Structure 1
């Protein structure tokens, strides 16, 4: 976990000075965006809304594809990720929550410490989530167990596939190296921090128009990069809902992907928000 977390972070720190003078092409940008969307939707649509919360039902091919795509984000194996997130919902912003920013108190110093813990510190905590308790359904699925065990392979492919494409497209080692840096390391680091911001920022700052467990909020500046995950308040009010952004202007790209998957017949039984469903949620404002 240290390697998967720290190396992309170091690459992100080096990205600005490197981009200023050399080493960033439109091919690198295209590969970075493409792999960001692939791995990002793998997490938001696959790991989160499907495997964790069962916001829809997927056929076997889609189930496998989403589990692999999410693994390319290098945020841990699929079973561990799901177990951690289900535990987060079971103990939201209380003792037992693996990444609440409120665990140290409400003073400025305590919140600063909690923000660091919620954003990245919890990843190095020895308190591991019991998958047998929080993800027994995934442990019972042999295909998902196999995908989870192959996490090191998905990590290698996530970093080296952009390099292979970059090298072949430019017929040069330099093209492979820059693609590895931008579409591999930097892309992973950006997606890491966007995802971790849902744990930290979206439990500290923002609007809370819906009554929900804990202190989950909506943070609109993160909506595009997080693919709709930063409409976090409604998600905690109604975790199984397949769409998180339901208000005017609340862009939710993950919900749009699920809508497309439903239209082509790969997903069904989608838990869309309805007037009756929302009426059961208590408005705070």
Structure 2
């Protein structure tokens, strides 16, 4: 795969040949999409809120926890390694089977079609924390009320914006790939698989409808809500607070307490200082499970030309020991 540039020329260019039909989800979000999005935000969130008293009152089985954790980290790494570091930034090259597997794994996170996700994120990097950024928490200003409003926008509200990122402009390379385009268009199918797999396993493992129901609650609803809010926190929290040891043209920060759940994405300052780097947690003690798995892919021969950070590359991006929290 030829790595896609992180900054896309703002001047539209006519394609050499007509591009394939649009991927699922065009440049304008329809009412039915907004209603569906609202349901996928509110229903899992209600389950997440209910999870605490339910776990306290009735407990949660090891099977339910195993399904929650396994589905969570499959989807999370599908997003962090696949959608983000590979498809968006070209941090490494992948052989075809791994490329397809990463596209499917990311789709299981239920965060939208692959091509739309990548287009939004490439636009975010082009205009990061400036006018044009789809989800900057600094959109409304720097006062406390403005920042609170901006955090809400960056975390959730921006997804309901009717005007969407032009996919042909920001992700033409993915649209031209037939397999990737098909997986992106099949987002609804992968969503159904993601939600139905835990209850199927739970029901078969316990041979009961109750086992299927609790597996759906924990392995599907709670898992999706938790993963969504962790991912959205990278857009909101990690652009509002955190340490900034590296030079970047925005307000991206490192938020250590999100590192494990975000699979290494919350070391966000280095990522914006060096977007194509395959490892985000480059300093001592910074856990980055996504980078570790990429290393395993490389050793297995599935990934190659990985853009690992050298010490010189890291030092060149430091802004001094005086850099602190926002």
Superposition TM-score, scaled by structure 1 size: 0.98
- List gaps (5 residues or longer) in structure 2: 1-36, 322-326
Q: Take 1:6 and 1:138, find their aligned partners in 2: how far apart are those partners? A: 30
Q: Take 1:253 and 1:238, find their aligned partners in 2: how far apart are those partners? A: 18
- Whether 1:104 aligns to 2:160 is no
Alignment correspondent of 2:72: 36
2:151 to 115, 128, 153: 115
- Whether 1:12 aligns to 2:14 is no
Alignment correspondent of 2:160: 124
- Number of aligned pairs? 285
Root-mean-square deviation (Å): 0.9
Superposition TM-score, scaled by structure 2 size: 0.86
Report if aligned partners of 2:245, 2:318 keep a CA contact under 8 Å in 1: no
Alignment correspondent of 1:256: 292
- Whether 1:211 aligns to 2:247 is yes
CA distances 1:146-204 after superposition (whole Å, capped 9, x unpaired): 00110001111101000000000000000000000100010010000000000011001
CA distances 1:29-60 after superposition (whole Å, capped 9, x unpaired): 00110001111100000000000000000010
2:200 to 148, 164, 170: 164
Alignment correspondent of 2:108: 72
1:139 to 171, 175, 182: 175
Report if aligned partners of 1:208, 1:284 keep a CA contact under 8 Å in 2: no
Q: Which has the higher helix share?
A: 1
3-state SS of the aligned residue for 2:192?
helix
- Whether 1:265 aligns to 2:266 is no
Aligned ranges for residues 183-222 of structure 1 at < 5 Å? Answer: 183-222=219-258
Q: Take 1:8 and 1:192, find their aligned partners in 2: how far apart are those partners? A: 9
The verdict on how the C-alpha distance between 1:168 and 1:23 changes in structure 2, with shifts beyond 3 A counting, is farther
- List gaps (5 residues or longer) in structure 1: none
